[in-house]
Structure 1
Amino acid sequence: MTAIISAAQLASESAGPRPPVLLDVRWSLGGPPGRPAYDAGHLPGAVYVDLDTELAGPAGAGGRHPLPGVAAFGAAMRRAGVSAGTPVVVYDGGQGWAAARAWWLLRWAGHPDVRVLDGGLTAWTGPLSTDTPSPAEGDFAPVPGGMPLLDADGAAALADEGLLLDARAAERYRGDVEPIDRIGGHIPGAVSAPTTENVAEDGRFLPAEHLTARFGALGATEETKNVGVYCGSGVSGAHEVLALEIAGHRAALYAGSWSEWSSDESRPVATGPDPR
């Protein structure tokens, strides 16, 4: 089973005997909420899921997008019609970050069959709908632990003992600019690996062999035991975890990411292009 699905394959499965539950998680960093875009047109049968309120907990010491409470997340997924025995496909507007966050959360919470629509809504050539579905209540009960998770101490240790990738833009990693968080820079020892370099111009993921070569050059080889990822607040980092999954690596996500790390003035910060 792969972590992504093409638009053509999704159209075929949706018309088949076991159609997946579709979740629309359109969202943009600092932009308008995705609900108006959903109301204007979405994949037929798709249920809207809000990243800020259903795929994250309240912002605070744990970062801008800390993990949601397990019970609240489970309730949101059941309202959307998610059941343990039913495949799920998530999509966003094309960037892939929000969809990857939903994919990661469901996988972390124990759902066995979740995929991201490669290229998002922009890859879909079929009809759209403006109807708001009312799915039957699902039975999904989260059991955390299906994907590896890091806290701040774990991220610091991995930067020393394994491979910790920073999925943000290179200028934020270097500390040249920091438009959101308290201070710029990166976790000492982390390697710059912008998530934007995991996809082609059309927003689809690069072929698996290209991603394998990319991450291999960054230090993620067959011999690498532990790989972790962080970003600004745990959203684009999930996209990098997904790219690593395609490349054959099971990576841990530091969900609090830079928004949590940089909020604590006692934690060290490195700047410039070098990891340390």
Structure 2
Amino acid sequence: MKKDELIISAIELEGRIDDGDETLRLFDCRWSLTDPSLGQKQFDERHIPTAQYMPLEPALSDPAGKRGRHPLPEKSRFAATLGAFGVANTSDVVVYDDGSSTYACRLWWMLRWVGHSKVRLLDGGLTQWDDWYFDTSQVVEQVESTHFEVRPSLTRVYEADDLLTTEYPIIDARAQDRFKGRNETLDHTAGHIPNARCFPFDANTRGDKCFTRSQVRFREFIDQDAIVCYCGSGVTATNNIMALMLAGFPEPILYPGSWSEWIEDPTRPIEL
């Protein structure tokens, strides 16, 4: 995919909003794993004009359980959520968060998962928006609900058993300390999936929160046909997917259940 099909700049987005583009649907995805109410509070305080708030829980995940901390919802439920937020199959969707692109990439990936190609990430998120001194708002956008039809997926997904036999490289988006089992604060068991390599998602962006778009970080995978991405619960792995695609790689495979699902079966192997 071309890079301008994946991301949008703050300047371009501001122009789209200023022009009153009726096809645009803008979503604020700010969230905190340690304070689930924080994202809504931040949105209420200020957000990019015309944005709606799309929380990780419950909009972008099912309740935690054997499928992990943030299992994917049924596609039909997610489609109903999109329709309730006014997203049609003709909508041009833009997603953002605080600039980490952690939660916005999850929504970006999920839209592609249900077959929607017209979705882009605001590169640098709210950080970039603020750096350009663009206005923010407290007005909550009111939209009419519509129908969103699930279409063939544009993404690739692996289940846990697929990782036991895959020949593709596996990369973990968590921090090195969690990967090595030294500081597990979110899940009940520490470690990582055997043969995985650690590529923390927060190294994908520069100081201005924009993606690097560089192949250098992932150069060892240049000759690979595919790469499998996972993290703690299928969220930050989508940031690595975005980074790899911006660097020119084919769309990687996501293991949505990730580490928090992997450890729910005690027969699955673990490395430290």
Per the normalisation by structure 2, the TM-score is 0.92
Q: Find the aligned partners of 1:22 and 1:254 in 2 and give their Cα distance.
A: 27
For 1:1-276, what aligned pairs fall within 5 Å after superposition?
A: 1-16=4-19, 18=21, 20-33=24-37, 34-124=39-129, 125-143=133-151, 145-158=153-166, 161-206=167-212, 208=213, 210=214, 212-216=215-219, 219-221=220-222, 223-249=223-249, 250-271=251-272
Q: Work out whether residues 84 and 112 of structure 1, in 8 Å CA contact, stay in contact via their aligned partners in 2.
A: no
Number of residue pairs matched by the alignment: 263
Question: For residue 274 of structure 1, what is the aligned residue in structure 2?
Answer: none
Gaps of 5+ in 1: 272-276
**Equivalent residue of 2:5, what SS?**
coil
- Whichever residue aligns with residue 204 of structure 1, its letter is C
Gaps of 5+ in 2: none
Q: Following superposition, which runs of at least 4 residues in structure 1 exceed 3 angstroms of deviation?
A: 16-19
Given the superposition, is the C-alpha separation of residues 203 and 156 from structure 1 closer, same or farther in structure 2, using an over 3 Å criterion?
A: farther
CA-based RMSD: 1.4
Q: Work out whether residues 24 and 93 of structure 2, in 8 Å CA contact, stay in contact via their aligned partners in 1.
A: yes
Q: Find the aligned partners of 2:165 and 2:208 in 1 and give their Cα distance.
A: 36
Q: Find the aligned partners of 1:76 and 1:3 in 2 and give their Cα distance.
A: 22
Q: Find the aligned partners of 2:209 and 2:194 in 1 and give their Cα distance.
A: 30
Q: Work out whether residues 28 and 43 of structure 2, in 8 Å CA contact, stay in contact via their aligned partners in 1.
A: yes
Q: Find the aligned partners of 2:34 and 2:270 in 1 and give their Cα distance.
A: 25
Q: Aligned-pair distance for 1:226?
A: 1.7
Q: Find the aligned partners of 2:226 and 2:35 in 1 and give their Cα distance.
A: 34
Identity among equivalent pairs (%):
39
